[in-house]
Amino acid sequence: MKYDTVIIGAGLSGLAAAIRLAHFGGKVAVLERHYRVGGLNSFYRKDRRDFDVGLHAMTNYAPHGPKSAPFQKLLRQLRLREEEFSLVPQTQSRIVFPGVTLPFGNGIESLTASVADRFPSQADNFRRLVEEVLAHDELNLANRWSSARQRVAATLTDPLLVDMLFLPLMYYGSADEEDMDFTQFVVMMKAVFCEGFCRPAGGMRPVLDRLLARCEEAGVEIHLRTGVASVEVADGKVTGVVTDAGDRIGCDAVLSSAGNVETARFCPASVADGEASPRAGRMSFMESIHVMKAPVADEATIVFFNRTDRLRYRKPDALIDLDSGVVCMPGNFAYTADRPAPAEADRTVRITSIADPDRWRTLEGDAYADAKERMGIEQRTAASFAVPAVGGDVVYHDIFTPRTVERFTGHVNGAVYGSPDKRRDGKTGVRGLSLIGTDQGFLGIVGSMLSGISIANQLMTERK
């Protein structure tokens, strides 16, 4: 059997790339090691409750927005309609540091007004920063890494405001510790503040079902429980892949969403001669989902908090970093009669903390289970600094750690945002092998789909 393209991973980037290539007649197989599609943003059922793995909010909310908006591009490219996502916008979110709170909603005007109110001396600087961000072409695949901290500090002169802006942007999309690539900063500014948050009312399952239906229409083959053990290369060019079961599948091109370090493990030649090996990502998270006894008494959709004066975004010297975190309340989106909230949404909170993969890895059996329980409680106590309601009684909870992420998605260290070394053009040392998704560099739900689309388009253009 021979394919034009084999795609490694049925996460959002892999599915989007597959739809593009197959829509235009390519013979495409998606190979996924797990028994379910969706990768980092899948769904699961446990103890008769349905949960999303990674959904806080979808960024880039641009309802009926300009055609240049990333979400609108994505819809056109995949031949999907906005209605099919049943999106509901956030109500309001906030960034909380000791003594200062910055509320923001969808659209940059809202944050601009908060900044002018809380940081009057920075109001003009902030407007200039926004102009700089809007003028930057973040989709240019030729962009190189440059320090966002330096660029932003040149415009905003209050370090507290800078940290307050970086908090949500780093938590939602930085593989780098303490700094971000300026292009990635721009991507996230636009995604989070200029456009904003929404949620597919029913969670990720209907979205993934729709993507699967598009795959089927287009003729994509999806093989679950089919891991790729190695990529075959001859004369510097891809010739096929070998599955975990030892089957050889021939193809002309491979798109890998496994990550660059991970891809290098099963295809050493992907690191070109003389090139440094990509660094493994270090940023991972503990994510807990709590179903509270009573509806959550807080109106915010997402609260980003930092309990100290300066933001620290790096691998902690502890199981989790209790000084900062994110609280998501999925009940607080603007649901409607035909886009209703899922069961128990008003009683659910999700909390994210930065975690140390190495410490979690060394724990075995009961010690691991105990640590999860303990950290779940400590995390809630810490988060009550910004959302007192999370201190209430809990009737059910589920917690996942860097280890869970690594086990289900293969990302080394459970690094949700992958390696700090991105390859914007997707290219590797092997002709015909490209990276998509996390380590191509467009992150998140919308970002990873656009990543798959962009690299699939590049492949189609080169093939002609």
Partner 1 sequence: MTKDAIRQAIVDIIQEILPDEDMGGIELDKPLRDQLELDSMDFLDIVMELRKRYHIEVPEKDYMELNTLGSTIAYLEPKMANL
Ligand X SMILES: Cc1cc2nc3c(=O)[nH]c(=O)nc-3n(C[C@H](O)[C@H](O)[C@H](O)COP(=O)(O)OP(=O)(O)OC[C@H]3O[C@@H](n4cnc5c(N)ncnc54)[C@H](O)[C@@H]3O)c2cc1C
Q: Which residues bind ligand X (CB under 6 A)?
A: 8-14, 31-34, 39-41, 54-59, 227-228, 257-258, 262, 266, 285, 287, 405, 409-411, 416, 437-438, 443-445, 448
Query: What does the alpha-carbon distance between residue 449 and residue 15 come to, in Å, rounded to a whole number?
Result: 8
CA distance 242 to 207: 30
Count how many Cα atoms sit within 13 Å of the Cα of residue 406 in the half-sphere of its side chain: 21
Q: How far is the CB of 199 from partner 1 (least distance, A)?
A: 23
CB 200 to ligand X: min, Å? 11
Q: How far is residue 3 CA from its own chain's centroid?
A: 29
Closest approach of ligand X to the CB of residue 121, in Å = 33
Contact pick of 45, 47, 48, 67 for partner 1 (by CB under 8 A):
67
User: Residue 28 forms beta bridges with which residues?
Assistant: 5
Looking at the DSSP bridge assignments, the partners of residue 255 are 7, 434
- Which partner in partner 1, ligand X, none is near 457 (CB below 5 to 8 A by kind)? partner 1
Binding mask 433-462 for partner 1 (x = CB under 8 A): --------------------x---x--xx-
Tally of CB atoms within 10 A around 225: 13
Cα 375 to chain centroid distance, Å, stands at 23
The bridge status of strand 28-31 relative to strand 284-292 is unpaired
453's contact among ligand X, partner 1, none, with CB below 5 to 8 A by partner kind, is partner 1
- CA-CA distance, 416 to 286, in Å (whole number)? 11
Closest CA to 455 of 258, 257, 173: 257
Determine, following the binding rule CB under 8 A, whether residue 66 of this chain makes contact with partner 1.
Answer: yes
**Candidate residues 79, 128, 293, 374; the one interacting with partner 1 per rule CB under 8 A:** 79
User: Do 349 and 387 form a contact (C-beta atoms < 8 A)?
Assistant: yes
Q: Binding of partner 1 at residue 464 (CB under 8 A)?
A: yes
Q: Give the tokens for residue 169.
A: 């942007």
Binding at 350: pick from partner 1, ligand X, none (beta carbon under 5-8 Å per type)? none
Residues belonging to the chain: 464
Question: Under a CB-based contact definition with an 8 Å cutoff, are residues 352 and 383 in contact?
Answer: no
d(CA 394, CA 464) in angstroms, rounded, equals 58
Residues 6 or more apart whose CB falls under 8 angstroms from that of 47 comprise 396
73 interacts with partner 1 by CB under 8 A:
yes
- Pick 42 or 125: Cβ nearer ligand X: 42
Q: Which is nearer to partner 1, 2 or 79 (CB)?
A: 79
- In whole angstroms, the minimum distance from the beta carbon of 211 to ligand X comes to 11
Provide the minimum distance between the beta carbon of 399 and ligand X in the complex, in angstroms, as a whole number: 11
Amino acid letter for position 431: R
Q: Which is nearer to ligand X, 34 or 136 (CB)?
A: 34
Q: How far is the CB of 184 from partner 1 (least distance, A)?
A: 21
Does the footprint of partner 1 cover residue 77 (CB under 8 A)?
yes
CB 448 → ligand X: shortest distance, Å?
3
Q: Are 138 and 186 in contact (CB under 8 A)?
A: yes
CB 21 within 8 A of CB 457: no
Q: Tell me the number of residues near partner 1 by CB under 8 A.
A: 15
**Binding piece for partner 1, criterion CB under 8 A, among 39-47, 70-78, 230-238, 334-342:** 70-78
67 binds, among ligand X, partner 1, none (CB under 5 to 8 A by kind): partner 1
Residues 102-161 that bind partner 1 (CB under 8 A): none
Residue 375 interacts with which of partner 1, ligand X, none, CB < 5 to 8 Å by class:
none
**H-only helix segments in 254-411:** 260-266, 357-362, 365-383, 402-409
Cβ closest to partner 1, residue 77 vs residue 270: 77
Q: Is 233 within 8 Å of 226 (Cβ atoms)? A: no
25 lies in the site for partner 1, by CB under 8 A? yes
CB nearer to partner 1: give 187 or 328: 187
For residue 189, which amino acid is it?
M
Smallest separation (angstroms) from ligand X to the CB of 204: 9
State the residues that interact with partner 1 by CB under 8 A: 24-25, 66-68, 73, 76-77, 79, 81, 453, 457, 460-461, 464
